[in-house]
Structure 1
Amino acid sequence: MTYTRVCPLAEIPQDGALAVEIDDTPVALVRSGEGVFALSDICSHAEVSLSEGEVYDGTIECWLHGSCFDLASGKPTNPPATQPVATYKVKVEDGDVYVSLGSDE
């Protein structure tokens, strides 16, 4: 699995999100509690940037229609979204955030 260095951890707001692009893929980096998560930055319902939404209770809320997505699984936790968003592997080393867009297979 290949990881790409994306940014320093300090650039991601606590309980907030940062929009980045990795190999032309829009990714929302999210800090929630002690965790760092990476998921598609495109809402599966309205195709707007999820990184502009609120982060709370282990979810990120789409600012347009209010769908929330679980940070760990990408699954919607309420309507109107019914499809999950992609999630990506994250690791933090020496204060930097690395993301892998690849699968485990």
Structure 2
Amino acid sequence: MPDECTETDRFVAVAAETEVPEKGLACFDVEGVGIVLCRFRDQVFALENQCSHALASFDEGRLRGNRIMCPLHGATFDIRDGSCTGAPASRPIRSFPVRVRNGLIEIGLPTGH
């Protein structure tokens, strides 16, 4: 779980740790960006909440280990880095650095995202 921000990132609070279940996901709007938070093995990961194949959201998606599955056509992505792991998608989705502070999950957003 990345914990340092780069010059272009600023961390923004998204949710309380308790809002993202173990082996589960939760979706949020953060400053106009759809974000899906995923928890697996006591780590939290953040991805853009939009499949690169048909632009569906992951609101009804499922986690299978360290992969998230799009509910529309079944494309899968690695929650650790957004890389595409299963068709019909062929492009990755954006991932964001995450840190947890005082029970709050924060993500790094690029300045002027």
What is the TM-score of this pair, normalised by structure 1?
Answer: 0.92
Give the whole-Å Cα distance in 1 for the aligned partners of 2:32 and 2:103.
24
**Which of 92, 99, 105 is matched with 2:107 structurally?**
99
Q: Unpaired segments of 5 or more residues in structure 1?
A: none
CA drift of 1:82 comes to 0.2
Q: State the identity as a percent.
A: 32
- Deviations, residues 36-92 of structure 1 (Å, cap 9, x unaligned): 000010000011112321112201000111111001110111100001000001000
Give the whole-Å Cα distance in 1 for the aligned partners of 2:79 and 2:34.
16
Q: How many residues align structurally?
A: 103
Give the whole-Å Cα distance in 1 for the aligned partners of 2:56 and 2:22.
22
1:1-105 equivalent positions in 2, closer than 5 A: 1-102=9-110
Q: Unpaired segments of 5 or more residues in structure 2?
A: 1-8
Coordinate RMSD, CA, aligned = 1.2
For 1:10, what is the secondary structure of its paired residue? helix
For 2:59, what is the secondary structure of its paired residue? helix
Q: Show structure 1 runs of 4+ deviating over 6 A.
A: none
2:4 alignment counterpart: none
For 1:39, what is the secondary structure of its paired residue? strand
Q: Is the 8 A contact 2:23 2:65 kept in 1?
A: no
What is the TM-score of this pair, normalised by structure 2?
Answer: 0.86
